[in-house]
Structure 1
């Protein structure tokens, strides 16, 4: 593709001189100095390509690599783009192809309508491991073929994160490949000093899609032996129940998977969420939100503090 560069119209000689006058005068005589450089013998000149007159410059496209003329060679060597890739370049992020809009589906949830499972991959934060300073959590949401579906980022201030740790209230923002916030998850602060059977001590998560429009809640239920949650609609009416694995028939699951060294040394969890392909897309979003409440309550570990000795 050839580009056309606009040129300035030809102006009279007087006007051109007025525009090119420099604020400081430059002498035509080069400065007098002693040089210790001794020129060597001149090398052989590069051969001129056939069919071009002397002094003809070969035009090249912007960004093209110059031609290399080896000594004594008859043909120039040109390095083809992509043949020798540049190093230290980040790998490109492969996103899941954008689906077509669906009627009666919140914008951005069309991805979930095409999936029956997703992977939640938490970023490893070396700063937390080294200093014990809690940073905002970040997650990559991917499908089975390692394509990115969403990015989830925590939006909590430094004091709240480090004062309350895994009990902190938080806001999670879910964005798509275009950077649009398509979902927001909010967890209010609940005092744990009260009795566990008291409703004011039970954890809760609100899911909004799009942001500002509540589609449901995830509410914790008190149970002496196992974790139990209810997935509720906008009116806080129970729609589904989430229990610890007990062998009963389930329509979906949230599985925490072993993440190797990252799971051992820091908070870098890996969850796999499974649900039926034909499940209502809002219910898929609610199960998706339940995963984050479970992660913060049970797997957001407080870094061990070093002893003063």
Structure 2
């Protein structure tokens, strides 16, 4: 009987992953992600800087995009440039984070590191991915910090202690006519912006959008604790939680096949995953989760790439 039970268990398919928490581990090569319990393609795609259809197509995952703990996914999706930093003697994760414009939590999440964040000389660390233009072969000098006293030199060479941009591999089955690259994405997004956007909350913009590798991928709006955060457009909640480090209590809303919006650092979340929301609906209360002061970090992504929210929001 015991042998029969063991045989039945080994033959059964693992339970599908539920939730949308990016808790898995990025392998040392920076190109592969090992799925953890709680992951879905939405959380992994958000972390990798791509969109769900592209990530699914690149890994030959059919709809409804079921993934399983322990499954390895390829992150070298078409249109993305991967930047890798190789650890050198004397480095700590805190030093690397400071010198490359990341937070320690951000680097830890990107590389699947856990406290006390031990690293070793020569170890490749994946930096935040960004979309590249179709003919872009390296990160521009404005996209990374300049060399200075105590600073880490970032350049396209492959020597230890440097970051290396790597072109993505050829897509397995790219969708015809779709653009995923930097300036091209910005132009296409502007042309296809048919959604009726509104401001997610009141208050001054204290940090603007930047296309730089280490720049702000959205805008930050100052306000008061408990202030209402509203859906910038109608859609469905595909994420509501706090498992993506650096975002605190986060909500991601899918508006259509191209557009997502995100609302980070909230005090209270007032919607649940898979819930449909209307434009202007109260979805959260402003807070300071995973940041130093009370603010809303707001992002819009078009086909997985960050775009400037100020180009979509009405003037005020």
Taking structure 1 as the reference length, the TM-score comes to 0.21
Query: Between Structure 1 and Structure 2, whose CA radius of gyration is higher?
Result: 1
Give the number of the structure with larger relative contact order, counting CA–CA contacts within 8 Å between residues 6 or more apart: 2
Taking structure 2 as the reference length, the TM-score comes to 0.21
